[in-house]
Chain A
Amino acid sequence: MTDTDVAPEYPAVRESRCPFAPAAVIREMTRADTIGKVRIWDGSTPWLISRHADQRALLNDPRISINEKREGYPHMTRGRATGAPHHPDLITNTDPPEHTRLRRTVNGPFMVKRVEALRPRIQETFDGLVDDMLAGPNPANLVEAIGLPVPTLVITQMLGAPYEDHEFFQTNSNKAISHESTAEETAAASRALGEYLAALLRKKIAEPADDVMSEMGGRVEAGEMTFQEAVIMSSAILIAGHETSASMISLGTLALLRDPEQLALLRDNSDDPRFVANAVEELLRYLTIVHSGIRRIANEDIDVRGTTIKAGDGIIFELAGANYDEAEFPDAEKLDLTRPARSHHAFGYGVHQCLGQSLARVELQVAYSTLYRRIPTLALAVPSERIEFAMEGVAYGLRNLPVTW
């Protein structure tokens, strides 16, 4: 499929018959003997890498680059293409060794033991949201009642923002990422968040506490990062961890409500942390919510199973393709909470793998082990065909999820 005339459009829309699996065209390309190209928004035709084994090999290959400023880089949207030349060096646009240095300056708060220490508080936050939903009107919209508030509250606490500001965070981060917002609303909300975070950072530099903003403030004071980098980084943490975790909670609930056998299995094993941890990995694989691919550019010619990716060619790694690659996950279309799923690429693979993955895991372990145990009668309040999927964002999600109990 190297003929650009027939390169399929990307991202490819998932089919309503099978809303969790990648589009049929992606699965065909995964099965094909040779790699192929896709056509993106600007008419360019980057390579699509969707096999699990190919992604493992290439995403750690120093011959590929994440430098979004290079001509030919396959940008996700027009907006990103326009913004790319103006970005400072970030963990999202640098290669090693610069990337390694930057990532190590922001990694501390996301360490496994530090997010584990947050677990009791995340549990308490989650239980509070379930209490509120149960005390409110029935049916309720799970996206608004649980999905979106969980990550906002957790990140507000992590960053060290005062609790009374969580509504400001919620409103503005919803607006900044919502599929319903206009471009002006998105820009205004992002600006409001940026100004808020800059003020918070100044405050934390003056009066440090035990939180992420204070830690970044310390690094600014020590000359390890600039004030502006710290603001951009904190806003990235807020946005990146918001829509994604919210989607996983809402979509995961929908997937489980459509599969009563797996839901019962999860509910019956809610008190087994090993079972729950594996269930989270399988739901990460099965849903693969980051559905617009991760983007790179080739530094040199690279041979992939007999086809040459030329230096300067754009490359897209289709994560759902790898997570539904039958060679790695037999019977991939089946949600099986007991399958070994940890090798999935839902968080990407290679040195740019998700910074917040440990935090996401704890949030999701708490969510999935609590929600169905506490509300065993949870059910959809509308026929499942009426649930609206949100396809346009970086992460795949739901506009609403009306539930009853």
Chain B
Amino acid sequence: MRVEFDEPKCVAAGQCAMVAPGVFDQRDEDGVAVVLVAEPGPELADEAQEAAAVCPAAAIRLVEQ
């Protein structure tokens, strides 16, 4: 699975960093999301999926490879 993150859409609500701390962080200056793991393995798949589902700006897409 690959994470597609549309940064200009990000409103820095931080939900991804909260539900998927293994995949996302927030950058210090403004809270915009940062992808830590671009291709999450099976152990991170659930949290990555939850992050995509809760993102209020619909800025996260997961592409199955």
B12 pairs with A103, CB closer than 8 A: yes
From B29, which residue of chain A is reached at the shortest CB distance?
A108
A-B contact pairs, 22 of them (CB 8 A): A60-B58, A96-B9, A100-B11, A104-B31, A104-B32, A107-B11, A107-B12, A107-B31, A108-B29, A111-B28, A112-B26, A342-B19, A343-B53, A348-B56, A349-B56, A350-B57, A351-B11, A352-B11, A353-B13, A357-B13, A357-B14, A358-B14
CA distance A96 to B31 in the complex (A): 17
**Is A227 interfacial (CB 8 A cutoff)?**
no
What residues on A are CB-neighbors of B56 within 8 Å? 59-60, 347-351, 353
B14 pairs with A108, CB closer than 8 A: no
**Is A329 interfacial (CB 8 A cutoff)?**
no
What residues on B are CB-neighbors of A107 within 8 Å? 11-12, 30-31
CB B11 to nearest CB in A, in angstroms, measures 5
Known contacts A111-B12, A112-B18: does B30 contact A104 (CB below 8 Å)? yes
Interface centre among A59, A100, A104, A111 (most CB of B within 10 A): A111
Taking CB atoms and an 8 Å cut-off, the chain A residues in 345-370 that contact chain B are 347-355, 357-358, 361
From A344, which residue of chain B is reached at the shortest CB distance?
B54
What residues on A are CB-neighbors of B12 within 8 Å? 103-104, 107, 111
Pick the contact of A60: B13, B18, B30, B57 (CB < 8 A): B57
**Is B17 interfacial (CB 8 A cutoff)?**
yes
Chain B interface bracket (under 10, 10 to 19, 20 to 34, 35 or more): 20 to 34
From A277, which residue of chain B is reached at the shortest CB distance?
B18
A112 pairs with B11, CB closer than 8 A: no
19 further A-B contacts with Cβ under 8 Å, apart from A113-B17, A358-B18, are A96-B9, A97-B8, A103-B11, A104-B30, A107-B12, A107-B30, A108-B31, A111-B12, A111-B14, A111-B28, A342-B54, A343-B53, A347-B56, A350-B57, A351-B9, A351-B56, A352-B11, A353-B13, A357-B14
From A97, which residue of chain B is reached at the shortest CB distance?
B8
CA distance A59 to B56 in the complex (A): 9
CB B13 to nearest CB in A, in angstroms, measures 5
**Is A105 interfacial (CB 8 A cutoff)?**
yes
CA distance A151 to B15 in the complex (A): 21
CB A212 to nearest CB in B, in angstroms, measures 13
What residues on B are CB-neighbors of A111 within 8 Å? 12, 14, 17, 26, 28, 31
B54 pairs with A112, CB closer than 8 A: no
Chain A residues proximal to chain B, CB less than 8 Å: 59-60, 96-97, 99-100, 103-105, 107-108, 110-113, 342-343, 347-355, 357-358, 361
Tally of A-B residue pairs with Cβ under 8 A?
Answer: 68
What residues on A are CB-neighbors of B58 within 8 Å? 60
Known contacts A111-B31, A112-B26, A343-B53: does B14 contact A100 (CB below 8 Å)? no
B14 pairs with A110, CB closer than 8 A: yes
What residues on A are CB-neighbors of B18 within 8 Å? 112, 358, 361
Known contacts A112-B14, A113-B26, A348-B56: does B50 contact A342 (CB below 8 Å)? yes
Map CB proximity to A onto B39-61 as digits: 1 under 8 Å, 0 otherwise. Answer: 00000000000100110111000
CA distance A112 to B11 in the complex (A): 13
From B25, which residue of chain A is reached at the shortest CB distance?
A113
What residues on B are CB-neighbors of A59 within 8 Å? 56
What residues on B are CB-neighbors of A353 within 8 Å? 11, 13, 56
CA distance A60 to B54 in the complex (A): 13
Taking CB atoms and an 8 Å cut-off, the chain B residues in 19-39 that contact chain A are 19, 25-26, 28-32
Interface centre among A113, A349, A352 (most CB of B within 10 A): A113
What residues on B are CB-neighbors of A348 within 8 Å? 56
B30 pairs with A105, CB closer than 8 A: yes
CA distance A222 to B42 in the complex (A): 45
CA distance A113 to B50 in the complex (A): 19
